[in-house]
Chain A
Amino acid sequence: MSDASPPKRRKGINWAPYLLILPTLIYLLLFFGYPMVRGLLLAVQDEGARLAVLSDAERSSPTSGTLPRGTSVEILDRQANAIDPADLGQTNMVTETWYFIQAQDASGQTVEGWTPETRIRVREQDEEGRPVAGTVRSVISSTADPLTSVYAEPDGGSEIIARLEARSEVQISDQSTLEIWYQIRGEENGQVVEGWAPSRYIQTLGDGSTGRIARGNLAQFTTIYIRRMINDRFFWPALTTTALLIVLIIPAQFVLAIIMALVIQANPKFNSIFLYIFSIALGISDLAAGILWYSIFTQSGYLNSILQGLGLIERPITYLSAGSRHWIILAIWLAEVWRATSLVMVIVVAGMQAISREVLEAAEVFGANLWQRIRHIILPLLRPSLQVALILRTILALQVFAVVIALSGGDVVTVLANETYRQYYDLRNFNVAAAYASFILLLSMITSVFYLRAVRYQEETTA
């Protein structure tokens, strides 16, 4: 890494570098910053905790109060309202279709306007199934208004521009889907709240004169997801196993990585081949590594085959089962040391290349043996690299996932990332999954603080 050529200075404010880093900044904000905030909110916010009740049946009207989810309400009135096209996929909406019609009223005048679908019997449709013509339905009830109103807008509250008699012929030229809004009255802690709310939030009961608030549209801070995470029966096993794996894996990786780096540094013949072999694992996924070690530890796998071949065992041993947790941990340990040591090795080799050869040669000339050179020269000078590798490995170890699934099926031995996956994928519990994700982020953030310190320390010492 000879990024020694110093960056060039230019006079005045140069906007070029800012333009050049802008795409990266925007991208990271969109796909790193935003999801991080979003994840935290998912973990601590109950999104539909309260419903805002509006003073009029219109989205832009002011709020007259809020009610919590689950409140029983009286339904006083209903009205059809235009829907934002983006909301059409919303669940539990009660909708009404209105037709734009042309017809002749009793006096022979042609009128144009909107009327509810329920008032028109469709007689003719075009080839795509859209209604084009029909007749006005007759009103059976004797008490009701025998005439059908035509409105200026697709809205029961708008001006009535005409009244049509039953069985009048109409042409249908357009239609519009409206959502029903309810005027509701509910009570919280003795306080009565009255106002309008879209039907998607209200579940009507019985004859439609009462109902309850099925979900809200206002978020509320909650610790329920975090509590659910902590009380989950897999939380503590996952946390302790993750910690145990970190404690077991990292020292072994460091010893092995330093040995690998010393070998590379000794520059044997075929160094390039050795370097390739040592780094292969850098490109191997944890899933593949997990499957690979599964092939060794499974009951009819290589370990049993070899042991039986050597006559050490009579019958194959079951390693990866519910009753042999320690074997699974050992297998995960081997798989992770096998797979992820190469990363530490690369960082350590890079750090060693920065140690001047003269220092090492001087030590050798003065008779320091290998252990003395490692102990008193290489390790102290490698300290910053090791620190960085340590923290990077710790954070990566927090994400251990597929290895565990491959070797334990994800039940006997579980880790934090696996629980995140289980909550999301098996239990479909996005909020608790987000709580797990935030927990992992928090642990990494704590580690990152140390990491940034290490980097700064390094910059100070190399500056």
Chain B
Amino acid sequence: MTTALESKTTAQASPEVLAIHRRMLRRQRLGRALVYVVAILISLWVLVPIWFIASMAFTTPQVVRSYPKGVLPFIPFSTDTMAFFLRSAGIIPGIINSVVVALITLVLSTLIAAPAGYALSRYVFRGRDAFRLAILAVRAFPIVVLSIPLAVVFLRLRIYDSIYSLALMHTALALPTTVLVLSSVFASIPYELEEAAQVFGCSPVRAFRHVVLPLALPGIAASAIFTFVLSWNEVFAATILTLRNRTLPAQVLVNLNISSEPYQFAGGFFLMIPALIFIFFIRRYLFNMWGQITK
């Protein structure tokens, strides 16, 4: 550290300084190489287990049951295991239920959260900070355990074991995050654009509809996708609030102890598919979603 300091103070490029410069460059290159090594190691840590389960999901049930298992791509490819899983009782209805619940959840939470997100990003109003803080606090709460009292209420109201009631619960789960994400999405659109539209004679609603909304759409879509994945993955509330109308994760969970390994592995991989696809599209927005938590 002292040498570096001296090199800065002696303005002339003496051979000594050049040597230090070379050393720094070498160190930088070394650091660069280290970054790649670490990046690849972490990638392997994430991807290898996924590779394991994917190769189990796409082979024959005989191979799944065999031991020892092959590790490299020597495993015969077959859709038999996946087909066996999909043909098992309750799986196709479970998939349909999961998709319906996730779609209702994303529509409902976007519709409810968008106005609140807009208000947070565009207005200064009394109670704004309290509202924001409340949303932050609710988001950090273990909302899923509230499915126990909700189940009792739903039983009494006779809307228990319905995918629509489950969607209501999932909406509560997704709402705080959606509000915060949408508020940052709206905040990233300059207010001046909206103002200009109003100056040229647009009503506030029209300005929102034709200026803000098109610009906010990618962000809203990302948030909606994330909500979809959230609902698709949620298993605790789904198991508590449904009985016959199971969603896919609930169906897999309650059968876990009594099912065979081909069923389990194919199910495990099937549950991951939305994550593998959707995270790719929304990876740039993830920071808006979770990074925003500290703001």
Contacts and interface: CB of A to CB of B under 8 A. Distances in A.
Interface of A: 1-5, 7-10, 14, 16-21, 23-25, 27-28, 31-32, 34-36, 38-39, 42, 256, 259-260, 262-263, 266, 268, 272, 274-288, 290-296, 298-302, 304-306, 308-309, 316, 338, 343, 346-347, 349-351, 353, 365-368, 370, 384-385, 388, 391-392, 395-396, 398-399, 401-402, 405-406, 409, 417, 420-421, 424-425, 430, 433-434, 436-437, 440-441, 444, 447-448, 451-452, 455, 458, 462
A420 B5 contact: no
B184 A3 contact: yes
Interface of B: 1-5, 8, 31-32, 35-36, 38-39, 42-43, 45-47, 49-50, 52-53, 56, 65-71, 111-113, 115-116, 118-125, 128, 131, 133-138, 140-153, 168-169, 171-172, 175-176, 179, 183-184, 187-191, 226, 229, 232-236, 239-240, 249, 252-253, 256-257, 261, 264-265, 267-269, 271-272, 274-276, 278-280, 283, 286-295
Given A31-B150, A346-B291, A316 B69 contact: no
Contacts of A4: 187
Given A28-B175, A302-B69, A316-B67, A288 B121 contact: no
* Interface of chain B: mostly helix, strand, loop or mixed: helix
Contacts of A10: 123
Contacts of B142: 395-396, 398-399, 440-441, 444
A392 B293 CA distance: 10
A92 B13 CA distance: 98
24 contacts: A3-B188, A7-B124, A8-B191, A18-B119, A31-B150, A31-B172, A36-B146, A39-B146, A259-B42, A268-B35, A280-B50, A283-B276, A292-B52, A304-B67, A346-B287, A349-B287, A365-B4, A366-B8, A401-B235, A405-B256, A425-B239, A430-B152, A447-B140, A448-B140
B123 A16 contact: yes
A31 B172 CA distance: 6
A413 to B, nearest CB: 14
Contacts of B65: 300
**Residue of A305, A308, A367, A368 most packed against chain B (CB within 10 A):** A367
Contacts of A406: 256
A160 B122 CA distance: 71
Contacts of B187: 2-5
Contacts of A444: 140-142
Contacts of A21: 115-116, 119-120, 131
A384 B278 contact: no
B152 A42 contact: yes
Contact of B148 (A2, A260, A280, A433): A433
Contacts of A34: 153
Contacts of B31: 266, 370
A302 B125 contact: no
Contact of A279 (B68, B138, B279): B279
A17 B1 contact: no
**Which 7 A-B pairs have CB atoms at the shortest separation, nearest pair first?**
A350-B291, A283-B275, A291-B268, A367-B4, A3-B187, A285-B233, A31-B172
Contact of B191 (A5, A275, A436): A5
B79 to A, nearest CB: 18
A308 B66 CA distance: 14
Given A32-B143, A401-B236, A23 B115 contact: yes
Contacts of B112: 23-24, 27
A28 B145 contact: no
B233 A424 contact: no
Contacts of B189: 5
Contacts of A275: 283
Given A1-B295, A288-B271, A302-B71, 13 more contacts: A3-B295, A5-B191, A7-B123, A23-B111, A23-B112, A27-B175, A285-B271, A296-B49, A392-B293, A402-B249, A421-B240, A424-B240, A436-B145
B275 A284 contact: yes
A7 B138 contact: no
A301 B49 CA distance: 12
Given A24-B112, A440-B142, A287 B235 contact: yes
Contacts of A436: 145, 148
A256 B149 CA distance: 37
A24 B116 contact: yes
